Amino acid sequence: MGKTKKLRPLLVVEDDPGLQNQLRWCFEDFDVSVAGDRESALQAIETLVPAVVTLDLGLPPDPANASEGLATLEAILNKAPYTKVIVVTGNDDRENALSSIGMGAYDFYQKPIEPEILSLIIERAYTLYELEAENRQLLQQSFSPLDGVIASSPQMLKLCRMIEKVAPTNASTLLLGESGTGKEVLAKALHQLSTRATKKFVAINSAAIPETLLESELFGYEKGAFTGANKTTPGKIELAEGGTFFIDEVGDLPQSLQAKMLRFLQERVVERLGGRKEIPVDVRVICATHQNLPSLIEEGRFREDLYYRISEITLDIPPLCEREGDVLLLARVFLNRFSKENGNVFKGFSPSAVSAMEKHPWSGNVRELENKIKRAVILAEGAFIGPDDLELMADTEDTPVLSDLRQIREQAERRAMLRALAIANDNVTQAAVMLNVTRPTFYDLMKKHKIK
């Protein structure tokens, strides 16, 4: 016997028993469930999670008034914003049908029902739903050549290419950037692309550990070296043997330890506290800081010879406000990630939220953006994330910047495309419609501006 074909679920919200039976018969290729009122419709949405719903706007208690149907539509989209709702109306109800489209309905159809036409609309809705689901899945993947790095801006892509070149070497690398720009993420990318990727990546933050404990954390200690040293313990540098050792906030390294760190970098040996034995260690060293090390050198707070040891290769990470287009890209990725973690579903960001994110200075960089999106996902109640959910206010004033005319055009074109994709939640067809271009043209522009 052949396998039984699994029917796709379809929810029909209709209070007329005669039409209920007619629609069941019309859609025999679907697993049809029927709801006669708002309460049962919302219950079915939770239990069935249908991709497509047909909704009659004339629901009880007053079938002649579409307000109950519109309220049901709003409730459905709040519970399941990705669901495609096809509104079924009477011939004289075109105004409410258009209102439903403005609220987020996929399409509308006027009675009397013609099964062939309505079936075609439902098939198109299913196709779009599946394409959007595939888009959302792709959003979970990396947007750059480096694992864990999400970026599309020319500034970050240039940095990624530099990291790809530096990673296979053993050169000591210094990552410079403001707090929250992702220095540790890039350090891990350097490790993953190196020949040491199968070994450990060990990280330590100089600013987070008290000075009295930092030396033992870095270099380890022998049994009896100090009160409480009940056993010999290797330091973080030793634990990174064969792999990568990452020192975050190296600018906060106490001067008392800078000389010992310099000796380790020169000789590649460590000596535990209370020990006399030199232990050779084979590690790749990556350092990071948000501070201006040359200024610290002038002030006598950082050793110049140590600076040159840790900065054989120096990579500058641009702040988020200078990474063209990355704010919206990161925002969509964080929205999908936190929505999945918290069991919430949102259709995306409202146009005013997109504008607010574009204008915000993001002094806290990626970390600030991540925190605001996480808060919005937890507290927002509508289908779209708005500026109030993000605690942002859009600036209505644009300050023109004089530059090369061709460059201005290309930047404006790229910003417009990224903005349209953000508002359309990465639906290329809708984004192309927003910009009044064909989908093939939009794909060509994506290729031109290297937008994935």
CATH node for 326-397: 1.10.8.60
pTM above 0.85, yes or no: no
Give pLDDT, residue 401: 43
CATH architecture label of 400-452: Orthogonal Bundle (1.10)
Positions of the chain with pLDDT lower than 70, given as ranges: 1-5, 60-66, 91-92, 136-147, 394-405, 452
Give pLDDT, residue 399: 42
Give pLDDT, residue 211: 86
Could you please report the per-residue DSSP string of 351-394?
HHHHHHHHH---TTHHHHHHHHHHHHHHH--SSEE-TTTTT---
| Domain 154-318: CATH superfamily, name plus number | P-loop containing nucleotide triphosphate hydrolases (3.40.50.300)
Tell me the per-residue pLDDT of 242-301, one tens digit each, with 9 for 90 and over.
Answer: 999 999 999 999 998 999 999 999 999 999 998 889 999 999 999 999 999 999 999 999
Q: Where are the domain boundaries for CATH 3.40.50.300 in the chain?
A: 154-318
| Domain 8-139: CATH superfamily, name plus number | Response regulator (3.40.50.2300)
Distance, CA of 417 to chain centre: 18
> Phi and psi for 11 in degrees, rounded to 5?
-100, 125
CA distance linking residue 452 with residue 447, whole number of Å:
8
Distance, CA of 174 to chain centre: 26
Tell me the per-residue pLDDT of 359-398, one tens digit each, with 9 for 90 and over.
Answer: 899 999 999 999 999 999 999 888 889 899 999 875 544 4
